[in-house]
Chain A
Amino acid sequence: MIEDDTYRMSSQYRLWSYSPEQLHNQRVNTNHLASEKVRAAVSRARLSSVTGNGNGEQQQHKGSAVTDIETLTVDEELQIVRWGCQKILDMKNVFDHPLPSHVISTAIQYLRRFYLTNSPMTYHPKQIMVTALYLATKTEHHYTDINQYCAPLTNVTPEDVRAPEFLLMQGLRFSLDVRHPARSLEGGVSEIKLHASALSCFNGEDRAAVDKRITKAAETARRLLTTQVQMTDAYFLYTPPQIYLAALLVTDKTLTTSYIDHLFSRLDTAIGPIKQKLLETINGCADLIRAEQSSEADGEGTKKELARIGRKLKKCQDPEKTDIKALARAKATEKRETDAQDEEKVRKKRRLERERAERDGEVFGPELKDVGK
Chain B
Amino acid sequence: MATNVLTQNGTFRMDASLASASDVCPVCKSTAQTSPNLRFKVSSKCYHRICEGCVDRKFSAGKAQCPISGCHHMLWKRDWRLQTFEDIQVEREVDIRRRVWRTLDLTNLGLVEPEGGWENVFEDLRGYNDYLEMMEEMAMNLITNIDVPATNKKLRDYETANGLRKDKDDPKALLKAPVRQPGDYPDLSGLIRGLKMKKVAPKQAAYDVWEGVTKQREYFSLSAKHESSWDHYTNKKATMAGGWNVADYTEESLLRAFSGLGVFIENEKGGKMDMRLPLATIAPHADDVF
Contact = CB atoms under 8 A, between A and B. Distances in A.
B252 to A, nearest CB: 8
A193 B252 CA distance: 17
A191 B261 CA distance: 14
Interface stretch (B26-34, B151-159, B181-189, B262-270): B262-270
B169 interface: no
B44 to A, nearest CB: 53
Query: Which of A4, A20, A166, A171 is most buried by chain B, counting CB atoms within 10 A of its CB?
Result: A4
Contacts of A22: 269-270, 273
A370 interface: no
B241 interface: no
Interface residues of A, number: 61
21 contacts: A1-B261, A6-B213, A6-B259, A8-B263, A15-B276, A29-B280, A117-B287, A167-B289, A167-B290, A186-B228, A187-B256, A187-B258, A188-B257, A190-B226, A190-B227, A194-B227, A239-B261, A239-B263, A277-B264, A278-B261, A330-B290
A40 B255 CA distance: 50
A327 B287 CA distance: 14
Given A117-B280, A167-B290, A186-B253, A3 B227 contact: no
A202 interface: no
B233 interface: no
B278 interface: yes
A61 B177 CA distance: 103
A124 interface: no
Given A22-B270, A117-B278, A190-B226, A3 B258 contact: yes
Contact of B220 (A6, A191, A244): A191
A26 interface: yes
Nearest to A238: B265
A198 to B, nearest CB: 13
Interface string B199-238: 0000000000000011011111001011111000000000
Given A6-B259, A22-B269, A166 B289 contact: yes
A321 interface: yes
B180 to A, nearest CB: 44
Contacts of B264: 277, 281
Interface in A91-147: 116-118, 122
A171 B256 CA distance: 26
A118 B287 contact: yes
Query: Which of B218, B226, B270 is most buried by chain A, counting CB atoms within 10 A of its CB?
Result: B218
A14 interface: yes
A303 interface: no
Interface in A167-209: 167, 170-171, 173, 179, 183-188, 190-191, 193-194
B226 A3 contact: no
B262 A4 contact: yes
B250 A190 contact: yes
B281 interface: yes
A179 B256 contact: yes
A272 to B, nearest CB: 12
A186 B262 contact: no
Contacts of A238: 265
Interface of A: 1-4, 6-8, 13-15, 17-22, 25-26, 29-30, 33, 116-118, 122, 166-167, 170-171, 173, 179, 183-188, 190-191, 193-194, 237-242, 244, 263, 267, 271, 274, 277-278, 281, 321, 324, 327-328, 330-331
Contacts of A240: 256, 259-260
A33 B217 CA distance: 45
A246 to B, nearest CB: 12
Contacts of A244: 257
Contacts of B117: none
Given A170-B289, A186-B229, 17 more contacts: A2-B218, A3-B217, A7-B263, A13-B265, A17-B269, A20-B266, A26-B280, A30-B278, A183-B256, A187-B256, A190-B228, A191-B254, A193-B227, A194-B227, A239-B259, A242-B260, A267-B219
Contact of B217 (A2, A7, A277): A2
B279 interface: yes
A187 B223 CA distance: 12
B41 to A, nearest CB: 54
B171 interface: no
Contacts of B110: none
B284 interface: yes
A239 B265 contact: yes
Contact of B262 (A188, A194, A271): A271
B258 A241 contact: yes
A15 B286 CA distance: 16
A7 B259 contact: yes
A128 to B, nearest CB: 12
Nearest to B284: A33
B234 to A, nearest CB: 14
B270 A2 contact: no
A187 B225 CA distance: 12
A17 to B, nearest CB: 5
B279 A3 contact: no
Given A187-B255, A190-B253, A331-B289, A242 B266 contact: no
B262 A278 contact: yes
B253 A187 contact: yes
Contacts of B279: 117, 173
In order of increasing CB-CB distance, the 7 nearest A-B pairs are: A239-B260, A187-B257, A7-B260, A187-B253, A327-B290, A187-B254, A188-B257
A194 B226 contact: yes
A240 B259 CA distance: 8
Contacts of A190: 226-228, 250, 253-254, 257
A10 to B, nearest CB: 8
A20 B227 CA distance: 36
Given A14-B276, A167-B289, A267-B219, A3 B261 contact: yes
Query: Which of B219, B260, B262 is most buried by chain A, counting CB atoms within 10 A of its CB?
Result: B260
A360 to B, nearest CB: 49
